Chain A
Amino acid sequence: MRRFFLVGTLFILFLLEGTVFQVFAPEQYGFDFQLIPRFVTVVVIMIGMVLSPAYGVLYGVVFGLLHDLIYTDLVGVYMFGMSVAAYIIGYLSKVFHLNWFTTLILGLLGVTMVEFYVYELFSLINVTDASFHSFFYSRYLPSLLLNGIFLLIVYYPVKRLLEDLSESRRQENQAKRRSFL
């Protein structure tokens, strides 16, 4: 049940990125910077941290593929980027004691990895011709701020959901083991 709730939340975030957020995107009101919502990526990275890196990879593959199919016409870019970021951050998080601050720093590190990877890949295959300077200042930094704020807002509810999920999974495993013995 909780798992469906997690998938549903991610799916709704995925839809919000392309629809509701675009209505309120800053370019419409004449601002010069871009805010790129990476809400799904943030939550997937949190899955990698709290549940396990393997789950991060699983959710990263599914929602990355969805992003590729719907919002770009290249299959595989976000699928690879999101799952690898969730995996690496998932392992890195084992070094730290997780509280809101370390989660914020690691989550933003993951978003940074995805942003830089996508930028480098798209400049390589000529999907974009933006200079690094404009990418960094008018796109990366404002987006980092947006996603950081988003992470802080959803930190407690998502963490609670994920911890419940991992707890119930642990109990299931124990019950299985007991019945096996």
Chain B
Amino acid sequence: MPQFFSNKRLIVLLVSIIILVALIGTSMKERDALTMPEQFFKDSIGWLQSIFYKPANSVAGLFESIGDMKDMYEENELLKSRLNEFVAVSEELKTVKKENADLKSELNIDSSTGLSNYQTFHANMIARSPDRWNDLLTIDKGEQDGVQADMAVATPDGLIGKVKNVQPFSSTVQLISDVDRTNRIAAMTQEDNNVFGTIEGYDTEKEVLLFSKIPVDTKVEKGQTVITAGNGGIFPRGIVIGEIVDIETDNVGTTQTAYVKPASDLYDINNVMIIDRGAQNVNPDEGEGEEE
């Protein structure tokens, strides 16, 4: 057996550790955009990934739908009975919406600048980081389709994360379960008297989000729904985040922290909605056309 670490090899090892530290240091910094080669690699591999992901997903979907088949009759009955309810509610919604618009125009509020005004467009997930340390998804819409960094990403159930990096034809989504200091969301409870706070991270053991900075004298209860508050600048108001499952007073005793169970399943994601708050320079139809 040759000598395990000769002097030369030891030096190579030390140099490569130094390079490793330097590389991690530079790539950990807050970056506005990725470098050109990174974008190129991510885009071309994203295209290959979508070739693999889509058939696998449809096979999995087929098995799932066979499994669902036996519940379908009962579900259908239930849905039919709910349909009448739906008609009534949608009529009511229409009148309320109209009334709201009338009142707003009477008060001279421009409806396009509201906190809860946003547009969505759809994208498909094409890959996910296999090591669970980084909770990143790749989706098949990029800068060409109007995606920009920091846009909110949701499934029909609720918020799942935000766009971290954009490439021309694909983008990377950081999930809310990713442990990151900068991953903060202004949130509030959806009740008569709104309680405001911040989502400040994720507890990987309990699989809950930490909804903190709630003043100690305000009352929050288990089962309340938490939504985005919209005053953080990035996210619009009204995207469902999750439901409060537990409440704890902090050590100091001035604020309390609620544990919020995310409304959307963070592992069973297929189609996502990208939520664009600006909505001026995005034409969703154009994005659809380019994909064909």
Contacts and interface: CB of A to CB of B under 8 A. Distances in A.
Interface of A: 15-25, 27-28, 34, 36-37, 66, 69-77, 79-80, 84, 91, 94-95, 118-119, 122, 125-131, 134, 139
Interface stretch (B38-46, B112-120, B237-245): B38-46
A22 B27 contact: no
Which of A125, A127, A131 neighbours the largest number of chain B CB atoms within 10 Å of its CB?
A127
Contact of B136 (A72, A94, A122): A72
Contacts of B128: 18, 22
A57 to B, nearest CB: 9
A107 to B, nearest CB: 18
A20 B56 contact: yes
B24 A75 contact: yes
A70 B41 contact: yes
A70 B204 contact: no
A76 B23 contact: yes
B24 A118 contact: no
Interface stretch (B12-20, B88-96, B220-228, B251-259): B12-20
Interface string B1-36: 110100000000100110110011011100000000
Contacts of A36: 130-132
B100 interface: no
Contacts of A139: 132
Given A23-B60, A77-B24, 15 more contacts: A20-B53, A22-B53, A69-B38, A69-B42, A70-B41, A70-B138, A72-B134, A74-B23, A76-B19, A76-B20, A95-B1, A130-B204, A130-B205, A134-B204, A134-B205
B81 interface: no
A126 B49 contact: no
Nearest to A121: B24
27 contacts: A15-B52, A18-B138, A22-B127, A28-B267, A28-B268, A34-B132, A37-B130, A66-B41, A69-B42, A71-B127, A72-B134, A72-B136, A73-B134, A73-B164, A75-B24, A77-B20, A80-B16, A91-B2, A91-B4, A94-B1, A118-B131, A119-B133, A122-B133, A127-B179, A128-B179, A129-B179, A134-B205
Size bracket, chain B contacts: 35 or more
Contacts of B155: none
B57 interface: yes
Contacts, number: 119
Interface of B: 1-2, 4, 13, 16-17, 19-20, 23-24, 26-28, 38, 41-42, 45, 48-49, 52-53, 56-57, 59-60, 126-134, 136, 138, 164-165, 172, 179-181, 204-205, 265, 267-268
Contacts of B265: 28
A23 B53 contact: yes
A167 B45 CA distance: 32
Which of A17, A70, A94 neighbours the largest number of chain B CB atoms within 10 Å of its CB?
A70
B45 A70 contact: yes
Given A19-B53, A70-B42, A76 B130 contact: no
B129 A71 contact: yes
Contacts of A21: 130
Which of A66, A71, A131 neighbours the largest number of chain B CB atoms within 10 Å of its CB?
A71
Contacts of B52: 15-16, 19-20
A74 B27 contact: yes
A23 B1 contact: no
A73 B127 contact: no
Contacts of B57: 23
B73 to A, nearest CB: 24
B224 to A, nearest CB: 25
